[in-house]
Amino acid sequence: MTTLDRRKLAGLVLVLLLACALPFFIANYRVFQMTLVLAYAIALLGLNMLTGYNGQISLGHGAFYAIGAYTAAILMDKAGLPYWATIPLAGAACFVAGFLFGLPALRLEGLYLALATFALGIAMPQILKHKSIEGWTGGVQGITILKPDAPPWTGLSQDRWLYFFTLAWMVFLFVLGWNLLRGRIGRAMVAIRDQPIAAQAMGVNTAMVKSLTFGVSALYTGIAGALGAIAVQFVAPDSFNLFLSITLLTGVVIGGLASISGAIFGALFIQFVPNVADQISKAAPWAIYGIVLIAFMYAMPTGVAGFLRLARARLVRRPSGPIPR
């Protein structure tokens, strides 16, 4: 997907219109769920840049989600900043954190990197509880955030307003991500994933691109964390345990590696499938979740996005080039 043809553009506009109309047809509680889906989609796109496009596996992105969430919460709670001003700052904080973590991680490949990030994911809840920063983080008690009101001219409920606020960020970040990934940097990222030595021979600054990818990926995830925290109105160390990191990676794989639209499908999956699993069995909700996961991977080995791409290619019956991974 390097350019947008007219039909695709029309399709995207239609989806966007539907997304704008959706909150007016569903209850506030559903709107809240959809807001979380949007936030997760941003986080998944961030992780997908790193894992799908650049081939670096991270099992610790929940940590960046947490840093974003806490940055927003602390800025609102302690510094009295308005909620909208905390989002870019949360992104910036995570960019720095991600870039710095990416530097030492350069030496680690594949599974070793996965383990290093795994450690970050495990450590994060305990770091958040640490005494030295308890004054800001609220320790184990966490921080309660006030829910922002919609500007009076919109006449929207708080939930609907937050939905649109999050949607705007998502669209902005997706366009940005699309721009980044189809251009020179995106090609360099993919080249490093597929043939690191060849990429270096071609003059790609491997170390820089990898670290930057880590930073940008963390930035996306951090912004998602901030948006999610404002929607939930609460942050606590227990919100960001290891399972969040694993859930994010699951979402990326289910949605489709190296696919932008896959982030949305993945977000829908991680938001709603656990609820369905709980409905089916109280005794072993995770077993049900696991079965659904296996079924998905069996039926759609390239993720939902990859499956749709294949289905479309077959339906249109137009000879298409090699399917991008």
Binding site for other proteins (CB under 8 A): 27-30, 32-33, 36, 122, 126, 129, 139-142, 144, 228, 232-234, 236, 238-239, 241, 243-244, 274, 277-278, 282-283, 285-286
C-beta of 86: minimal distance to other proteins in Å? Answer: 18
Nearer to other proteins, 196 or 285 (CB): 285
Residues 6+ apart with CB under 8 A from 137: 70, 74, 128, 129, 143, 237
99 vs 289, beta carbon nearer other proteins: 289
Q: Give the nearest distance from C-beta 267 to other proteins in angstroms.
A: 14
**Beta-strand relationship, 143-144 and 234-235:** antiparallel
CB nearer to other proteins: pick between 87 and 212:
87
In sequence order, the β-bridge partners of residue 143 are 235
Of 222, 214, 220, nearest to 99 by C-alpha is 214
> 14 with 141: CB under 8 angstroms?
no
Map tokens 């007016």 to a residue.
Answer: 24
Q: Name which of 68 and 177 has its Cβ closer to other proteins.
A: 68
**For residues 55 and 217, is the Cβ–Cβ distance under 8 A?**
no
Write down the least CB distance from residue 176 to other proteins, Å: 26
Nearer to other proteins, 64 or 99 (CB): 64
The Cα-based distances of 116 to 33, 55, 198, 220 in angstroms read 32, 15, 26, 20
Question: In the bound complex, what is the minimum distance in angstroms from residue 112's beta carbon to other proteins?
Answer: 22
CA angle 289, 293, 298 (to 5 degrees): 150
Work out how close the CB of 275 gets to other proteins at its nearest, in angstroms, rounded to a whole number.
Answer: 8
